[in-house]
Amino acid sequence: MNKVIVSPSILSADFANLERDIKKIEKAGAHWVHVDVMDGHFVPNITIGAPVVKAVRKVTTMPLDVHLMIEKPERYIKDFVDAGSDIITVHQEACQNNLKEVLETIRIYGIKAGVSIKPKTPVKVLEEVITSLDLILIMTVEPGFGGQGFMHECLTKIKETKDLLNQYKLTDVHIEVDGGINGETAILAKEAGANALVAGSYIYNAPDIQAAIESLL
């Protein structure tokens, strides 16, 4: 996979003008829309649910890259599928006893399944499900709030993830990185093996959104 995918996080958008802000990133060349779903339990923040995903689906044809930072995500998979998600990513830490089943459930619905790991979670936990996923999301900040700084120690995990995929000859699995992504850290993440980048404040706070997106490619 040579093409870099930019997936702006709407967590940094103006929710009073969400359609406008989604159209902005679409026009500026974004590839996916990243939707951060937080429940106030798995992570300390509370954001949005399936109704907002459904509303976003109505205003864009871009793939919806939905990141479930929630406990017991299996309870809500169908809701987010029905809302129009194209990719659903769950956390390994929230599915330690049933991760493979959750991923297979997502795939049964005909959409892509992803797994995310927090900065302190080792890459080796992914090996048991490596053939059941379409995307691995490496968090380079502690999940829960936007605007944090990139944790450079996580670059090793991106490289380890790339090595693991190569070991299993899996060339179609996306390595996505989320947290503190900007023009400088994007270069490091891509060099380590990432092909998909999530950015929120860097894109939405930029004076020129198109230039910000292009700087990540």
- Reply yes or no on whether the pLDDT at 146 is more than 90: no
Annotated catalytic, 178?
A: yes
Check residue 170 and give its pLDDT: 97
Whether the Cβ atoms of residue 175 and residue 195 lie closer than 8 Å to each other: yes
For residue range 102-138, list pLDDT tens digits in order. 999 999 999 999 999 999 999 999 999 999 999 999 9
- Reply yes or no on whether the pLDDT at 144 is more than 90: no
Check residue 2 and give its pLDDT: 64
Annotated catalytic, 86?
A: no
d(CA 150, CA 61): 30
- Reply yes or no on whether the pLDDT at 150 is more than 90: yes
Check residue 63 and give its pLDDT: 98
Range of the domain at 42: 5-214
Active-site hit among 21, 39, 65, 178: 178
Whether the Cβ atoms of residue 56 and residue 35 lie closer than 8 Å to each other: yes
For residue range 176-206, list pLDDT tens digits in order. 999 999 999 999 999 999 999 999 999 999 9
CATH number of the domain residue 140 falls in: 3.20.20.70
Q: What is the Rg, in whole angstroms, of the alpha carbon atoms belonging to the chain?
A: 16
For residue range 29-69, list pLDDT tens digits in order. 999 999 999 998 999 888 889 999 999 999 999 999 999 99
* Number of domains within the chain: 1
Active-site hit among 36, 39, 65, 134: 36
DSSP-assigned states of every residue in the chain: --SPEEEEBGGGS-GGGHHHHHHHHHHTT---EEEEEEBSSSSS-B---HHHHHHHHHH--SPEEEEEESSSGGGTHHHHHHTT-SEEEEEGGG-TTTHHHHHHHHHHTTSEEEEEE-TTS-GGGGGGGGGG-SEEEEESS-TT-SSPPP-GGGHHHHHHHHHHHHHTT--S-EEEEESS--HHHHHHHHHHT--EEEESHHHHT-SSHHHHHHTT-
- Reply yes or no on whether the pLDDT at 1 is more than 80: no
* Per-residue pLDDT band at 96 (split at 50, 70, 90): confident
> Angle 18-27/50-59 helices, nearest 10 degrees?
50
